[in-house]
Amino acid sequence: MNVRVGRRTRHYRTVAFDASKNAVLLIEQRLLPHEFQVVAVRDFRETARAIQEMIVRGAGAIGATAAYGLAQGARAFRGGDIRKFSCHVETVYQTLKAARPTAIDPVNAMNEIRRAMSAGETVQQQQALTRAAAEQFADDDVKHCEAIGRHGAPLIRDGMRVLTHCNAGWLAFVDVGTATAPLYAAQAQGKKFHVFCDETRPRSQGATLTAWELAGQGIAHEIIADNAAGHLMQRGEIDLVIVGSDRTLGRTGEVANKIGTYTKAVLAERHNIPFYVAIPLSTIDWELSSGSEIPIEERDQSEVLGAWGALRNPKSEIRNPKSEIRNPKSVRRVYMRVANPTSRARNPGFDVTPPELISGIITPAGIFKPNELWRNRRELGHET
């Protein structure tokens, strides 16, 4: 989507490929929202490291990065020995897979690329096919998000105030995003609306990433503390909630998403505010039969006990970034202890929202009630 760079606004994807340099281009997300930088990664091992160190994060985005990384690794092979080439590709595959061992998207993405390349006979043919398949994978990710936007946009009417939680935006995918897709589509249709971004402690993805996205796109928005949404709903200042999902149970319609999502769903129900979840098909889990089976990651307590932010260097005040590659000394990104130094914290990363609190699930195939997913499983990509 759009990024304001100085006075210009330019379109970027989160992940792209520069074939002439065999480089994967990534937005350096760890510097956002304080600095905007695009990193050109020239070696598949570096691409794996970029995934591991979270220069790129988000299901769709790391899937596409792994797809490009596999193409990049395959294309770096010199020679015509197909057996050696296959071994090399296997190394690339395992290296990229190991970067985020529990994530499913990189594996699915790379399997798709390998399937496509098997149509080629020579090393050169297979190398060419990997690149085409990776581009196809990235384009499909964008198309799915655009479809979510098309289905979701009618929910947004002129003058509405929409609440979001965390970041299921274009930065988490190749472009467009899921929870943000209806917003971007409604904006393209000329609708005017206002977005409240939940800060989303402890990692503050709403205040940092979602707010940064909306600012670049020119969508009116305000950040609120996670504590404030209940009050705003009570005073009639929120008309619609749209969130993303990390895992949606196809059998039950339960939705696992960033911690705090469940709270917003409970509040929305009390105030009769529609609560929608936007998801790509890849996040539907067709196996589990209860949300209580979803493992809830207990994350490091330092996230709750402090915060990451930017200390300004008085010699170079940050306003809008002036150039794409910025002097990293203009902003010092630091971790700061906020809480009492002798206290500990609990830090569950996700929660599970039951289907009765969800008005609808916006997918690339249309909007479904949570209890309609299983009945429509073929349309939603379930493979049996």
Q: Which residues are catalytic?
A: 246
Closest to a copy of itself by CB, 86 or 330: 330
Q: Which of 307, 358, 361, 362 binds a copy of itself (CB under 8 A)?
A: 307
Closest to a copy of itself by CB, 115 or 337: 337
User: Looking up tokens 């009618």, which residue turns up?
Assistant: 154
**Interface mask toward a copy of itself for 8-37; x: CB under 8 A:** ------------------------xxx---
What single DSSP character describes residue 191? -
Cα–Cα distance between 278 and 46 in angstroms, integer?
Answer: 32
Residue 378: CB minimum distance to a copy of itself, A: 32
Residue 158: CB minimum distance to a copy of itself, A: 21
Closest to a copy of itself by CB, 39 or 318: 318
Q: Which of 316, 334, 356, 379 binds a copy of itself (CB under 8 A)?
A: 334
Residue 342: CB minimum distance to a copy of itself, A: 5
User: What is the number of alpha carbons within 13 Å of residue 47 lying toward its C-beta?
Assistant: 33
Please give the distance of CA 341 from its chain centroid, rounded to a whole number: 33
User: What is the number of alpha carbons within 13 Å of residue 93 lying toward its C-beta?
Assistant: 16
Residues 6+ apart with CB under 8 A from 238: 161, 162, 163, 196, 229, 232, 268, 271, 273
Closest to a copy of itself by CB, 163 or 242: 163
Cα–Cα distance between 17 and 135 in angstroms, integer?
Answer: 8
The crossing angle, in degrees rounded to 10, of helices 59-75 and 105-117 is 40
Q: Does 204 bind a copy of itself (CB under 8 A)?
A: yes
Residue 97: CB minimum distance to a copy of itself, A: 30
Q: Does 56 bind a copy of itself (CB under 8 A)?
A: no
Q: Does 105 bind a copy of itself (CB under 8 A)?
A: no
Distances (CA, A) of 237 to 183, 206, 232: 18, 19, 5
User: Looking up tokens 């281009």, which residue turns up?
Assistant: 25
Closest to a copy of itself by CB, 120 or 306: 306
Q: Which of 28, 6, 9 is nearest to 322 (CA)?
A: 6
Cα–Cα distance between 95 and 129 in angstroms, integer?
Answer: 20
Q: Does 351 bind a copy of itself (CB under 8 A)?
A: yes
Q: Does 348 bind a copy of itself (CB under 8 A)?
A: yes
Q: Does 113 bind a copy of itself (CB under 8 A)?
A: no
Cα–Cα distance between 44 and 290 in angstroms, integer?
Answer: 38
Write the burial class of residue 381 (CB in 10 Å: 0-12 exposed, 13-18 middle, 19+ buried). middle
Cα–Cα distance between 14 and 68 in angstroms, integer?
Answer: 12
**Interface mask toward a copy of itself for 206-245; x: CB under 8 A:** -xx--xx-xx-----xxxxxxxxxxxx-x-----------
In the range 142-201, which residues lie near a copy of itself by CB under 8 A?
Answer: 196-197, 199-201
**Interface mask toward a copy of itself for 253-292; x: CB under 8 A:** -----xxx-xx--xx--x----------------------
Cα–Cα distance between 267 and 224 in angstroms, integer?
Answer: 15
Please give the distance of CA 124 from its chain centroid, rounded to a whole number: 33
Q: Which of 101, 190, 295, 341 binds a copy of itself (CB under 8 A)?
A: 341
Closest to a copy of itself by CB, 94 or 323: 323
Q: Are strands 240-243 and 161-164 parallel, antiparallel or unpaired?
A: parallel
Closest to a copy of itself by CB, 70 or 265: 265
Residues found near a copy of itself in the complex (CB under 8 A): 4, 32-34, 196-197, 199-202, 204, 207-208, 211-212, 214-215, 221-232, 234, 258-260, 262-263, 266-267, 270, 296, 304-312, 318-320, 334, 336-348, 350-352
